[in-house]
């Protein structure tokens, strides 16, 4: 009989309820308690380590559900009920699925067996209590945080403008030293906050206040311009107002719970405003709670805004809230987000003109965003009609396509020069050879110390110097790898540009979004000069372009043809797609098979391409960001083993395919280290010197308190330990 064993553990630890122990207990239970007829069992093992039981988005659990529907086994057994799920709804659905396919379920710890009616009833009851316990713990943690909040202390996060977080020591009633965090004043920033409140009371408009801040070059803490959102956040924050009965009454009217006694001195902190909304796939978003759940408590810092002024600000905001209607966005401008102001470099946005009495048509104009926000004080570039500017750019793209050979020759020449320069530098420095020499010198010195420890005082300073030299060489080696990746990316980018140029002659027949992407792909920057009515267009490969394009947003995937992803040579962080390569599925499959797989990044890309996945689709499955995937695929960063394991679990790939490090990461190779240590009669300190690490790190590694990094693994490998 086939029996499925499911084991799960939320974190990687060395405690007794590890997945291996859970599996063994399940096997023992089946052999000793269920095997009355002495039949043989075939066990199917499903292991999820490092995944929460709060949702069902677990690789092996998904495989288990698939196998249930295929009726691959007759019994499902687990060590404890919450290994399957901590959510009552999820567990009920799973139990119904098992019953539908006539599969029994056993939980060892609770001694439940769905082979009996009592067992089925008890399992439902236990799952209810499991969820109750989980929610109780979460509620207890939240209540503790709320009680701390009521004391007026700062509970963490980014301090508001004008304040910094500061830890203060104090003695409690039992004369034990305690600490709490409070807000301390930053007088320069507080002066700016006072100015913002004063100016809003004077101007009575967020738009006018924004224009004033821009006109006078005031900046946020991070050096950005103030906008309406950041100004509104300051004006509505109770942290700045002095606590008073009037303020407490206002907050109470908003259904906010208020705590403390107003003293017209200290400010007010608000807590419990946001909540996390978890979805069944494990993702979450944040949203505001209902105001009845908010807590406003008198803080330990001093307020700076008088209560009557703060209340007046809120009153003006309420009056202005519904004053202006939101304009319609019915334009079809091609260059939004692409075209910039010639005078100040800001992006141009669309403004609506009046409806023409002759034609009944509304005209749209490109206008400088800084000019509009500052009401003309920071820039006075004249507007340009959208229809005329778009037409000029489209004609320029057509002309570019007609003369495409000149542009291609220019780009190929630039690429050839870059490639030649890279290879000349690489041959001249020969960094990898120097690194090997330095490592040999380090090993020789370590051998001398192991033979004669009395020489350590003389040798250790030399070792430190060599270590610094090795670090410099390693940094140079990494830079060379980055340069090589950039070179490869430019080669991919050149083929992308060629395919775009082939589309230029068909621009009149393309969809609106396709034309936008064609313009974005073939231009570095477009600038509008309202005074001279000139439109400056920098095409790809322009060396004199001072500004660089921002990250491209992909067009709708429905109009994309699958091709390779590359790096835009005019912006190191831009990820682009060849949207116009027309390839048959069989050709794409054969090309994907021939993709290189020499590095971890190349292997990740090949797995993605062989599964016919776009970057966004792959990231959704693995749960990573697009930029992270790009850094992996171009070997800018080494993926964490847990990420590699997710890839392997989801796409049926062996860990060894990526690197034996990833296999060993989930294995016990501390024994190999101890064997090497004993064989050479090394102390932990001597091992640390040889492996370029700390003795405490090695001790933690042996006792399974530390999972090794890739560099640590490479050190073990280079020293022949594994």
CATH number at residue 285: 3.90.1750.20
Q: Does the residue 621 lie in any domain?
A: no
Residues 6+ apart with CB under 8 A from 323: none
Q: What's the domain range around 251? A: 163-321
Judgement on whether residues 237 and 301 belong to the same structural domain of the protein:
yes
Residue 194 sits at φ, ψ, to 5 deg, of: -60, -40
Q: Is residue 132 included in any domain, yes or no?
A: yes
Flag whether 599 is in a domain: no
**pLDDT given at position 192:** 94
Paired sense of beta strands 534-539 and 384-385, if any: unpaired
What is the C-alpha separation between 510 and 543, in angstroms, rounded?
A: 29
64 to each of 60, 114, 248, 303, 695, how far by Cα in Å? Answer: 6, 18, 56, 58, 43
Cα(626)–Cα(632) distance, integer angstroms: 10
- Please indicate, yes or no, whether residues 277 and 416 belong to a single structural domain of this protein: no
Question: Is the distance from CB of 431 to CB of 544 less than 8 angstroms?
Answer: no
Residue 512 contacts residue 331 (beta carbons within 8 Å): no
Domain membership of residue 639 (yes or no) is: no
* Nearest by Cα to 41 from 5, 17, 71: 5
Query: Residues 158, 164, 169, 174: is their CA dihedral positive or negative?
Result: negative
Whole-angstrom distance, CA of residue 688 vs CA of residue 700 = 12
- Regarding whether 476 and 535 lie in a shared domain, the answer is yes
Domain identity same for 135 and 200: no
Residues 91 and 115 grouped into a single domain: yes
Q: Does residue 251 sit in the same domain as residue 340?
A: no
Q: 608 in helix, strand or coil?
A: helix
Q: What is the CATH number of the domain that holds 27?
A: 3.40.50.1390
Specify whether 37 is located in the same domain as 137.
yes
Residue 251 contacts by C-beta under 8 Å, 6 or more apart in sequence?
238, 258, 268, 296
Closest CA to 708 of 682, 676, 670: 670
CB-based burial label for 480 (10 Å; 0-12, 13-18, 19+)? middle
Nearest partner of 363 among 332, 391, 326, 395, judged by Cα: 332
Q: Can you tell me the distance from the alpha carbon of 7 to that of 46, in angstroms, rounded to the nearest whole number?
A: 6
Say if 593 falls within a structural domain. no
82 and 16 within one domain? yes
- Does 44 share its domain with 77? yes
**Secondary element (H or E) of residue 676:** helix 670-680
Summarised one tens digit per residue, pLDDT across range 20-34 is: 888 888 988 888 877
Q: How far is CA 203 from the centre of its chain?
A: 40
Q: Which residues of the chain have pLDDT under 70?
A: 10-18, 35-37, 54, 88-89, 120, 122-152, 168, 170-180, 276-285, 322-331, 421-429, 450, 482, 484-493, 541-594, 660-668, 705-708, 710
Q: Given this model, what pLDDT does residue 664 score?
A: 64
Query: What are the strands of the beta sheet with 257-259, ordered from one edge?
Result: 257-259, 295-302, 266-271
Element (H or E) spanning 527, and its range?
strand 523-529
In-domain check, residue 662: no
> What DSSP character marks residue 339?
E
From CA 563, how far away is CA 585, in angstroms rounded?
11
Residue 231 CA, distance from chain mean position: 27
Domain assignment present for residue 483? The answer is yes
User: Beta strands of 344-397 (E only): which ranges?
Assistant: 348-355, 362-368, 384-385
Determine the pLDDT at residue 555.
Answer: 28
- Distance between CA atoms of residues 107 and 79, nearest Å: 6
Report the pLDDT value the prediction gives residue 341, as an integer from 0 to 100: 94
Q: Count up the domains in the chain and report the number.
A: 4
514 in the same domain as 393: yes
The answer to whether position 61 is within a domain reads yes
Quote the CA–CA distance of 333 and 331 in Å, as a whole number.
Answer: 6
Closest of 58, 623, 283 to residue 78, by C-alpha: 58
Are residues 524 and 383 part of one domain? yes
CA distance 196 to 306: 14
Res 227: pLDDT: 87
Of 267, 294, 321, the position where a domain reaches its end is 321
Of 115, 147, 179, which residue constitutes the final position of a domain?
147
**426 with 551, same domain?**
yes
**Residue after which a domain boundary falls, among 268, 287, 321:** 321
């Amino acid at each position: 009989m086939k029996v499925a064993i499911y084991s799960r553990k939320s974190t990687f630890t060395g405690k007794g309820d590890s997945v291996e122990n859970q599996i063994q207990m399940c096997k023992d239970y089946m052999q000793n308690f269920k095997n009355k007829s002495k039949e043989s069992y075939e066990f199917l093992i499903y292991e999820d380590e490092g995944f929460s039981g709060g949702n069902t988005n677990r690789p092996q659990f998904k495989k288990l559900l698939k196998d249930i529907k295929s009726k691959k086994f007759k019994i499902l057994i687990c060590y404890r009920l919450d290994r399957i799920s901590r959510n009552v709804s999820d567990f009920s659905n799973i139990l119904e699925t098992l019953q539908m396919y006539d599969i029994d379920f056993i939980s060892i710890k609770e001694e439940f067996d769905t082979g009996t009616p009592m067992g089925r009833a008890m399992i439902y009851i236990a799952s209810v209590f499991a969820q109750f316990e989980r929610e109780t713990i979460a509620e207890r943690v939240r209540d503790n945080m709320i009680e701390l909040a009521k004391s007026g202390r700062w509970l963490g996060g980014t301090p508001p403008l004008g304040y910094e977080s500061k830890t203060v020591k104090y003695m409690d009633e039992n004369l034990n030293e305690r600490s709490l965090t409070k807000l301390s004043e930053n007088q320069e920033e507080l002066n700016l906050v006072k100015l913002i409140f004063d100016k809003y009371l004077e101007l009575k408009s967020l738009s006018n206040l924004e224009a004033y801040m821009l006109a006078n070059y005031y900046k946020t803490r991070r050096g950005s311009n103030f906008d309406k959102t950041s100004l509104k956040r300051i004006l509505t924050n109770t942290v700045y107002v002095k606590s008073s009965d009037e303020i407490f009454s206002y907050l109470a009217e908003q259904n906010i719970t208020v705590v403390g006694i107003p003293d017209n001195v200290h400010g007010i902190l608000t807590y419990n405003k946001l909540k996390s909304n978890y979805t069944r796939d494990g993702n979450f978003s944040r949203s505001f709670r209902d105001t009845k759940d908010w807590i406003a408590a008198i803080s330990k810092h001093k307020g700076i805004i008088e209560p009557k002024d703060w209340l007046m600000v809120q009153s003006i905001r309420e009056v202005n809230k519904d004053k202006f209607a939101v304009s319609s966005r019915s334009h079809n401008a091609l260059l939004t987000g692409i075209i910039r102001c010639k005078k100040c470099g800001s992006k141009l946005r669309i403004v609506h003109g009046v409806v023409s009495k002759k034609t009944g048509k509304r005209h749209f104009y490109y206008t400088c965003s800084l000019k509009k926000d500052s009401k003309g004080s920071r820039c006075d570039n004249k507007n340009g009609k959208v229809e005329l500017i778009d037409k000029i750019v489209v004609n320029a793209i057509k002309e570019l396509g007609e003369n495409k050979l000149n542009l291609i020759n220019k780009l190929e020449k630039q690429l050839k020069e870059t490639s030649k320069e890279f290879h000349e530098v690489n041959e001249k420095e020969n960094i990898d050879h120097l690194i090997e020499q330095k490592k040999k010198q380090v090993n020789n010195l370590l051998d001398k110390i192991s033979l004669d420890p009395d020489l350590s005082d003389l040798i250790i300073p030399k070792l430190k110097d060599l270590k610094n030299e090795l670090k410099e060489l390693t940094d140079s080696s990494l830079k060379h790898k980055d340069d090589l990746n950039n070179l490869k990316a430019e080669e991919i980018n050149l083929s992308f540009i060629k395919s775009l140029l082939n589309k230029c002659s068909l621009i009149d027949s393309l969809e609106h979004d396709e034309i936008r992407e064609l313009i974005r792909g073939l231009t570095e920057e477009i600038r509008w000069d309202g005074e001279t009515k000139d439109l400056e267009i920098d095409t790809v490969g322009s060396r004199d372009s001072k500004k660089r394009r921002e990250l491209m947003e992909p067009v709708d995937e429905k109009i994309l043809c699958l091709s390779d992803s590359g790096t835009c040579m005019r912006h190191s962080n831009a990820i682009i797609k060849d949207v116009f390569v027309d390839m048959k599925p069989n050709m794409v499959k054969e090309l994907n098979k021939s993709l290189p797989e020499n590095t971890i990044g190349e292997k990740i890309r090949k797995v993605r391409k062989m599964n016919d996945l776009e970057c966004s689709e792959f990231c959704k499955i693995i749960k990573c960001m697009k930029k992270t995937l790009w850094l992996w695929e171009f070997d800018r960063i080494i993926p964490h083993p847990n990420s590699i394991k997710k890839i392997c679990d989801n796409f049926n790939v062996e860990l060894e395919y990526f690197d034996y490090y990833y296999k060993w990461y989930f294995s016990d190779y501390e024994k190999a280290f101890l064997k090497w240590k004993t064989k050479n009669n090394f102390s932990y300190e001597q091992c640390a010197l040889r492996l370029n690490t700390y003795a405490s790190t090695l001790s933690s590694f042996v006792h399974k308190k530390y999972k090794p990094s890739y560099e640590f693994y490479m050190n073990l490998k280079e020293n022949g330990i594994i």
